[in-house]
Every structure is written in structure tokens, then in C-alpha cells.
């Protein structure tokens, strides 16, 4: 599937150029806007793979908009900037701004920047996913330990026997050790 991109730029001609360059490069420009407020609205509505946003815009500038968007979603942002605005962008990187592109924009600098931003965004998602998986595994291990403790106490078993009882039950019922542990914890909740 084509990556979905939203373009926010107040200069209409540049916005049109960007849209054309992106479309030619195989991206799907799903929405566009010309100020920060619109950017917030569109990011929320479309959840794009990437938002390309100008800094200097009427109503609300791109930096402020990116900070607000970061609080609401994980929408990655590539900033468009004039050379003199570099220091502002460094500040914005703390939020969800993955990079910036200095004007004038050409296909030669746009497409690689978009590719890098998209792959960074994907890496970030993967990394967060890995953290979540690790967290889940750790929780499962904790539950298993707790259930083992409960069995030892209720059934007066030693650690090895309690563990084997759980493992045998899991194998027989063809459920995970974690599910067995949760069932044990639930069953003996009142005995503890």
C-alpha cells in the first residue's frame, strides 16, 4: 500500500508542487492544508503515515501545531523550513518531528527525506512494539511466579512440584502457562 501523506504549506504553489512531486514518487497525498490548526484537524482525522509541514504559516505555525499533534497521536512529521529556522527545528525534534527539509524543495531532496522519515517512523513503531512485548512477557512471568506460590501454599507443594503441576495442566489443556497461572490465581483468590 502507498504511504499516506498530508501536506501542510501556506504557499499554494509550493503546496501544489509538493503534492505533484510526492504523487509522482508513488506516495498517496490524502489531504492538504495551509495552517497549523488545519494540520491538527487533519492529523486527527486521517492518521497519516507522514505529515509534511511548513513552519511559517498564518493562524498557527508548524512548530506549535507539531507539539499539539504529538500530544494527540503518533503522527510523524517532516518539517519544511527556511535555513534561518534551523534552531527552532532542533527544539521540535523532541516531539514527533523526525526531520526537516530546507527550502527550496526539489524532488532530489524531498524523496530521500520522506523515505528516511517513513523508515524512522516504522522503526519507532517496531521499537515500541518490542517494548510492549517485553512488558507482556515480564507480566506473564510474574503471574506464573505468583500462581506457583499460591499452589505451594494451598496444595502444600514444594516449588518444583507446584511448577510441574502447572506445566502438566497447561500441556493437558493445551493452554499457555500464563493462562493456567491466571486461572489458578482466580480460583484461589479468596484463599490468599
Name residue, grid cell 509550493.
14
Q: Is 10 in the site for Mg ion (CB under 5 A)?
A: yes
Sole binder of Mg ion in the list 32, 54, 61, 178 (CB under 5 A): 54
Choices 3-11, 21-29, 44-52, 167-175 (CB under 5 A): range interacting with Mg ion = 3-11
The three state secondary structure string of 79-137 is EEECHHHHHHHHHHCCCCEEEEEECCCCHHHHHHHHHHHHHHHHHHHHHHHHHHHHHHH
In terms of CB distance, is 56 or 146 closer to Mg ion? 56
CB of 19 to Mg ion, least distance (A): 15
Angle at 39 between CA 65 and CA 128, to 5 degrees: 70
CA distance 22 to 8: 13
Residue 56 in the binding site for Mg ion (CB under 5 A): yes
Asked if 61 touches Mg ion (CB under 5 A), the answer is: no
Cβ within 8 Å of residue 42, ≥6 positions away: 6, 8, 31, 33, 48, 51
In this structure, what C-alpha cell is assigned to residue 155?
Answer: 496444595
Residue closer to Mg ion by CB (options 81, 143) is 81
C-alpha to C-alpha distance for 162 and 144, rounded to whole angstroms: 11
Which stretch, 53-61, 113-121, 166-174, 175-183, contacts Mg ion (CB under 5 A)?
53-61
DSSP annotation of 189 reads G
Q: How many residues bind Mg ion (CB under 5 A)?
A: 4
Residue range at the interface with Mg ion (CB under 5 A); choices 8-16, 100-108, 129-137, 146-154: 8-16
State yes or no: residue 34 binds Mg ion (CB under 5 A). Answer: no
Residue 32 interacts with Mg ion (CB under 5 A): yes or no:
no
Closest distance of CB 57 from Mg ion, Å = 5
Tell me which residues touch Mg ion (CB under 5 A). 10, 54, 56-57
Amino acid at each position: 500500500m502507498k504511504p499516506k501523506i498530508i501536506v501542510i504549506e501556506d504557499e499554494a504553489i509550493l503546496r501544489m508542487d509538493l503534492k505533484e512531486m510526492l504523487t509522482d514518487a508513488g506516495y498517496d497525498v490524502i489531504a492538504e492544508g495551509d495552517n497549523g490548526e488545519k494540520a491538527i484537524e487533519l492529523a486527527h482525522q486521517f492518521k497519516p503515515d507522514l505529515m509534511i509541514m511548513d513552519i511559517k504559516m498564518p493562524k498557527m505555525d508548524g512548530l506549535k501545531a507539531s507539539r499539539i499533534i504529538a500530544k494527540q497521536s503518533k503522527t510523524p512529521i517532516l518539517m519544511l523550513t527556511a535555513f534561518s529556522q534551523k534552531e527552532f527545528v532542533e527544539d521540535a525534534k523532541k516531539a514527533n518531528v523526525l526531520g526537516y527539509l530546507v527550502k527550496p524543495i526539489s524532488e532530489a531532496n524531498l524523496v530521500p527525506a520522506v523515505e528516511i522519515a517513513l523508515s524512522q517512523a516504522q522503526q519507532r513503531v517496531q521499537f515500541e512494539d518490542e517494548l510492549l512485548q517485553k512488558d507482556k512477557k515480564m507480566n506473564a512471568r510474574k503471574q506464573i511466579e505468583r500462581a506457583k506460590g499460591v499452589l505451594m501454599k494451598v496444595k502444600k507443594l514444594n516449588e518444583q512440584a507446584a511448577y510441574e503441576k502447572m506445566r502438566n495442566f497447561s500441556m493437558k489443556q493445551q493452554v499457555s502457562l500464563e493462562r493456567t497461572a491466571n486461572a489458578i490465581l482466580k480460583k484461589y483468590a479468596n484463599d490468599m
